[in-house]
Chains A and B, each alone.
Chain A
Amino acid sequence: MDRRIDVAVAACFSVLGVLMILAASGIKTGMMRDPIGPRAAFYVCGGILALGGLFVIIGHLRRWSSQSGHIVPSEGGDDEAGFPASALRAWALIVAVLGLAALWNPLGFLIAMPMFLVAALWIMGGRNAWSTIMIALLFTGIVYLIFAQVLGVRIPVGPFTPLFRSLGWINL
């Protein structure tokens, strides 16, 4: 684990704690008063985050010179040994997931989901176009049938809405 990133993450928690306390001070107290009040929980949690973050940072700074380099044993979940890891791949996947969420309503599930699946499988190293497209289409179709048609979950279908409505498949 890179100690500098660990310090940066702790600093983020610390700043978040301070911001939480500041934001909590603006919460209206309301008409009914009680000994705890609506702000107390955020003050406590914000304080823990701010002080805890500082504690982690100071701990690292104090040990900064005791070990060579900026790498310390990881306290987090380790990657599987023997296989190269790529943070870029994980973040690319997160961006693809955000894209799916953004396109969920405008394009509809039946277009956005296969697009996401093709993109995500490509990010994960899938290079067989035929199988990738088949997986994307089959999964989307089956999930849509189960959730929308069998279970009655209202899943947006974007440009297919008029067609599905005329076929009586949806009542939106």
Chain B
Amino acid sequence: MDFLTPLLGGMALLGDPLVWVAVLAGTLFGVVAGAMPGIGTTLAYGLVLPFTFVMPPIIGVAFLLSISVGVGYGNSIPAILMGIPGNPAAILTVIDGHKLHKEGKSGLALGVSFVAALSGQLVSILLFVLLVVPLMAVAYHFSFPEIFGLYCFGFIALISLAADNLVKGIMSAALGISVGLIGLDPINMVTRLDMGVREIRSGLDDVALVIGILALSELFRSARQVFQWQDKSGEASGSKFPKWAEWKPAVPSMVTGTVVGTFVGAIPGAGSTPAAMISYQTAQMLSKEPEKFGKGSIEGIGANEAAQNASNSGELIPTLGLGIPVSGSMVLLLAALSVQGFVPGPLMVKNSPELLFAAIAGLLASTIFLLLTGWGMASLMLKAVRLNRQVVIVLAIAMTLVGIYSTNTKVFDVFVAIGAGGVGYFMLRYGYSPAAAALGVFIGKEFERSLRIGLNMNENSFVTFLSRPITATILLVAFGVLIWGVIKRVQMNRRIAARAAENDNLVV
């Protein structure tokens, strides 16, 4: 199959009105689901999966992938406007986007998110088409040691989230990692730190933990005060799409995010969260103003949103090409195809290329649809800040709890989320980083799993494990990025100190 065949096949499917009906329904559902705290792509897929069983496979694939695109865009809206990430990948959007919203720059934050999400998605489709064949060959060689190397990048991102107090940031990450590791040991399957509680023998639910640490904690903190949003961010209601000059600085980071998102998304075991983290980190390294990251940087939003959406295309490469699902949502996509009679594996697309065409059609059509209507949706959501703040906080808590319950229909998960929210509330109040803890929950588990299983696969030898060519290359690059990051951080601190000294001199 040459490079153009999948693209032409996908475009040909856009002539089918049924594909458009499915895509419009999927995109709208995705945007609404993404905007609901606690509902990510996986849960959204899970909720509609039974409907796809009655659809023709091509329509089903296009429908599901349009949901991914919708969720990828939709989750930025509550992240920016309410500080609530729809899923873990939106954590970094919260950090910068919500900060801008609080400063009355909601339009700028939403505009950059809109451009980044759609351009990232569109360009990544082209990258996907151009790179699917060679990347399939690379992804096929990724095993646990290589995934371990990838998660080392994640730890570098954790360090960048450590906020002002590095010790507290590292402690936050350690707390998140250890909580995430509770449950079954990946090698021996013995239970760890379950305290004899039956419900946590196989671990605490990641979604409940992360949503609790990030979303509920912020909502609990917000409940400390009673006021109306108009009083603090009246400019938000009149926000317009930002001018080119305003979002132009974010363009390089969008390019970075698109490339990183597509490649990282293609790696089994990675997905949109590491893609977003790595691209954020890379964009910070390349930025002329790295000190703004985490404090309302449009470059941060651009990198993160582009990477999240680009990873949708990247995830499809091993999923459809090799039958290796790279995320929870891709597991569900393969499950839907299995029900339709397809056998996941390297030969699936070779035997049924229409699945690849349908994937491209779904991604392309939903991107076009959002291009035409997405800003209107975001502007509509801006009106949310005119609502009674107290009512929104209470309903957001209720909605979050319903979303958490819906994941596994277990009330225990709701308790876990509330507990995590209480701890997160203290962390927020006393300078510990809930974002580092939340990322630790996800990274720690896969980091340990890939390290230990990888060692087992390599005769328990660190030398054999680390000297695998791809692993060694990734680790060297990660080490280089870490050193670069430390140098950049020192430079940034010096710049801040110099500015403070200048200000002092001006005062004197």
- Identify B168's interface contact among A35, A75, A93, A135, CB under 8 A: A75
Q: Which residue of B lies closest to A39 (CB)?
A: B192
A94, B399: Cβ atoms closer than 8 Å: no
CB-CB contacts below 8 Å: A10-49 with B = 13, 16-17, 20, 23-24, 27-36, 38, 41-42, 44-46, 48-49
Set of chain A residues within 8 Å of B181, measured between Cβ atoms: 41-42, 45
Q: A94 to B425, alpha carbons, bound, how many Å?
A: 10
B171, A36: Cβ atoms closer than 8 Å: no
Other contacts beyond A9-B432, A120-B398: 19, CB < 8 A: A6-B431, A30-B188, A34-B456, A35-B455, A35-B462, A38-B190, A44-B174, A75-B168, A76-B430, A77-B428, A90-B425, A94-B220, A94-B422, A98-B418, A101-B414, A125-B390, A126-B390, A153-B47, A153-B409
Q: Which residue of B lies closest to A86 (CB)?
A: B224
State how many angstroms separate the Cβ of A85 from the closest Cβ of chain B: 4
B456, A20: Cβ atoms closer than 8 Å: no
Q: Does B232 contact A (CB under 8 A)?
A: yes
B171, A48: Cβ atoms closer than 8 Å: yes
Asked whether A120 and B175 contact (CB < 8 A) given A42-B193, A56-B167, A85-B225, the answer is no
A27, B192: Cβ atoms closer than 8 Å: yes
The secondary structure that dominates the A interface is helix
- Identify A124's interface contact among B177, B390, B428, CB under 8 A: B390
State how many angstroms separate the Cβ of B430 from the closest Cβ of chain A: 5
A23, B226: Cβ atoms closer than 8 Å: no
State how many angstroms separate the Cβ of A81 from the closest Cβ of chain B: 9
Q: A97 to B415, alpha carbons, bound, how many Å?
A: 9
A97, B225: Cβ atoms closer than 8 Å: no
Q: A31 to B190, alpha carbons, bound, how many Å?
A: 10
Q: A160 to B406, alpha carbons, bound, how many Å?
A: 20
Top 8 A-B pairs ranked by shortest CB distance?
Answer: A30-B188, A75-B431, A124-B390, A45-B178, A48-B174, A52-B171, A38-B185, A45-B174
- Identify B226's interface contact among A28, A83, A155, CB under 8 A: A83
Residues of B participating in the A interface, judged by any CB pair closer than 8 Å: 47-48, 50, 163-165, 167-168, 170-171, 174-175, 177-178, 181, 185, 187-190, 192-193, 195, 216, 220-221, 223-227, 232, 390-391, 393-395, 397-399, 401-402, 405-406, 409, 411, 414-415, 418, 421-422, 425-432, 444, 448, 451-452, 455-456, 460, 462
- Identify A90's interface contact among B224, B394, B401, B431, CB under 8 A: B224
- Identify B402's interface contact among A41, A46, A93, A147, CB under 8 A: A147
B223, A27: Cβ atoms closer than 8 Å: no
Q: A139 to B393, alpha carbons, bound, how many Å?
A: 13
B431, A89: Cβ atoms closer than 8 Å: no
Q: A116 to B393, alpha carbons, bound, how many Å?
A: 13
Residues of A participating in the B interface, judged by any CB pair closer than 8 Å: 1, 5-6, 9, 13, 16-17, 20, 23-24, 27-36, 38, 41-42, 44-46, 48-49, 52-53, 55-56, 74-77, 79-80, 83-87, 89-90, 93-94, 97-98, 100-101, 104-105, 113, 116-117, 120-121, 123-126, 135, 139, 143, 147, 151-155
Q: List 10 A-B contacts (CB under 8 A).
A: A9-B430, A29-B188, A34-B187, A38-B185, A45-B178, A48-B174, A98-B415, A101-B414, A120-B398, A153-B409
Q: A38 to B406, alpha carbons, bound, how many Å?
A: 31
Set of chain A residues within 8 Å of B175, measured between Cβ atoms: 13, 16, 45, 49
